[in-house]
Amino acid sequence: MTISDERSTEVSGPVSGHPHNTRKLSWTQRPGLLSQNLLTAIVFGVIGYLIGHWFGNYLASGYSYIANSGQNSIANTLALAFGVVGWLGGIGALNYPFAKLFGVDGLEEESPVDNWSKYFRYSLDHKIVGLQYVVGVLLFMFTGGLLAMAIRTELLNPTTHIFSPDVYIKIVSEHGTIMMMMATSIIVGPLGNYFVPLMIGARRMAFPRIEALSFWIFTAGYMVIFSALPYGGFPTGWTGYAPLQTQAGPGMVSYLLGFAVIGLGMILAGFNQAVTIINYRAPGMTWSRVPVFVWSILATAALLTLATPVLFAGGLFGLLDKTVQTAFYVDEHGGSSYLWQNLFWFFGHPEVYIMALPGFGIAGELLPVFCRRPLFAYKVSAAGMIGVALLSFFVWQHHLFQSGINPDMRPLFMLTTELISIPTGFIYLVGMGTLYRAKIRFELPMLFVLALFFNFLIGGVTGVFLSDVPVNVTVHGGFFVLSHFHYTIMGGLLFAFMAGLYYWLPKMTGKMMNKKIGKVHFWLMFVFFNLTFFPMFIIGLLGQPRRVFTYATNLQGLNDFSSISAFILGFSFLVFFFNLVYSMWIKPEVAPANPWESLGLEWQTATPVPSYNFERIPVIMTEPYRYSEEGAPAFADFGPKDAPDSPTHTMA
């Protein structure tokens, strides 16, 4: 592989797993027929929305019971769908395929944009896409968190209400949906896109256009889901169960189409990650030398690629029921509300591990760095992630224990649910083995990793109870379940994301986060996360149901304690945002080249990372994480500066 003066590469032959055909690739190119950015995306999206709404009204005009009902789902669906297409067209995502369709060449020029505005454009540089995801998921998490604050404010008093029951359930539904859909990409999007190519010694993702498209589809899906609020919201909770789904108002269209749009982005992202990891590893990076974070992204990519199409199809079926009056989920017309539950949870339970596995990957990546020792049982950790991904497809019906579906299936799904704790336990024990008798450096990223293990232990133990049918029957639909999944998802995923940000932001931005402010953020977040959600186990066991805005008066003390703790937990995120602004712009501190003394390949290139990642494709020499071995050879060899990039080779 050679690098020209324009920083493009000529790819020929089986070099670094690339295809055999010859083609030129530019790492900062931005195909464009006009100067397209976030502003044109908004304008085109609004135009698409208006055209779609007009067209939908035209189609429904011949059916008075639709056109005059005040719930013209055809117009709402087409308006949002055309708005998404307009958004993608305005950002430039459709330029290349349409140019090829009409035989237009010359779109491979280098982008002249090299300033802050490049982050508001359609970019083929995986590092820019990663930073776009960072901003996107933080923004979406902030809006979902505001809705959570509204929920806890309502629950301060069981008799004096701020919201009506109808408004409250819609706030709960919107909060859950935004948070769950945002969480599916919270690590894979920002950190996976940015660091997977660096950690495997590649110069780019396998399909840069698909990578960029997945981000802008992700943002479009978020806006579609959020549009449910001006449409009147939806009353189903984040699970969208039928028959409430078919009975709900126009806000339900935003839910169903939003799931379909985000699902499409997740499929593309997972496919791209898998192809990149399998085919673009550097010479010498055999499967036994792949970093554990990359293993976690590969397992997650398999789940994204295989499970998400089921959600995509389920959302389309619901849209057909709402628009053209099919009856997939309508029992009285020959459909089945059980169909939605099965389709939803066939995706929904693997989704839990779409969120959890990258978090464990971050923990596995950071533990050796801050313990200064190899990762204990590295291969067991990788096998555990693959085992979790495989078994996650066999447990979905434990969410249907109370549905009335065939009770003879309960023992089978109770068994499979308990079995999945085995590979999950392997991953957990790998972390404990690495910590055992280690000389831990209590840096900020490590504090969040330790908190992850504490929180996930509580979430995992309570999950074992919930897999048992008698216990599930007792606590189903209550705050015990709510606390359990917040401990596993928020307590694991969000703490892992923060660990990854504090660890890798110096590489992404060239600036260090302020340690003193960061520690204030950590202790507020860790302490008040537990003070918010642990009381909910007690509240749930005492009988308080979820999604209900009133409760027994004897539970007010616990609810008030939980709500006040939640407000302080929310404040901890404001501390993080302040730290981000303070460290990046107000009083920046230049980061050392390798502040954590990591052996990771991503730290062996320049900071900030050049558009082409590596001047020389590295040749991997040893297994990763050889921290305690004195005199061990370097992890990778970049070769002398006057040597060619790398010899033609075949992947091991």
Give the pLDDT confidence of 167-191 residue by residue, as tens digits.
999 999 999 999 998 888 899 999 9
Let me know: does 201 contact 15? Beta carbons within 8 Å.
Answer: no
Please indicate, yes or no, if residue 492 is contained in any of the structural domains: yes
CA distance 535 to 530: 8
Give the pLDDT confidence of 575-619 residue by residue, as tens digits.
999 999 999 999 999 999 999 999 999 999 998 898 889 988 899
Please indicate, yes or no, if residue 4 is contained in any of the structural domains: no
pTM: 0.90
Give the pLDDT confidence of 501-542 residue by residue, as tens digits.
999 999 999 999 999 999 999 999 999 999 999 999 999 999
| Same domain, residue pair 427 and 494 | yes
Domain ends where: 590, 612, 627?
590
| Same domain, residue pair 160 and 286 | yes
- Give me the half-sphere count of Cα atoms (radius 13 Å) on the Cβ side of residue 647: 7
Give the pLDDT confidence of 473-491 residue by residue, as tens digits.
899 999 999 999 999 999 9
| Same domain, residue pair 191 and 63 | no
| Same domain, residue pair 76 and 193 | no
Please indicate, yes or no, if residue 611 is contained in any of the structural domains: no
pLDDT of 291: 96
Decide if pLDDT at 25 tops 60. no
Structure tokens at 335: 């459909």
| Same domain, residue pair 99 and 229 | no
Structure tokens at 66: 């639709």
CA 249 from centre of chain: 28
For 494-534, strand residue ranges (E) read 511-512
Query: What is the domain count for the chain?
Result: 2
Domain ends where: 76, 98, 120?
120
- Average per-residue pLDDT for the chain: 88
| Same domain, residue pair 514 and 370 | yes
CA 425 from centre of chain: 23
| Same domain, residue pair 369 and 231 | yes
DSSP string, 308-362: HHHHHHHHHHHHHHHHT---SS-GGGT--HHHHHHHHHHHHHHHHHHHHHHHHHH
| Same domain, residue pair 189 and 97 | no
334: exposed, middle or buried (C-beta count within 10 Å: 0-12, 13-18, 19+)?
exposed
pLDDT of 6: 33
| Same domain, residue pair 264 and 356 | yes
Give the pLDDT confidence of 395-437 residue by residue, as tens digits.
999 999 888 888 888 999 999 999 999 999 999 999 999 999 9
| Residues spanned by the domain of 90 | 29-120
How many Å is the Cα radius of gyration of the chain? 25
Among residues 478, 489, 437, 578, the alpha carbon closest in space to that of 142 is found at 578
| Same domain, residue pair 499 and 405 | yes
Structure confidence at residue 58 as a pLDDT band (50, 70, 90): confident
Domain ends where: 566, 590, 614?
590
The CATH number that applies at residue 166 is: 1.20.210.10
| Same domain, residue pair 196 and 157 | yes
Structure tokens at 627: 């921290």
Residue 2 main-chain phi, psi, to 5 deg: -120, 155
| Same domain, residue pair 107 and 128 | no
Sign, Cα dihedral of 430, 436, 441, 442: positive
pLDDT of 323: 86
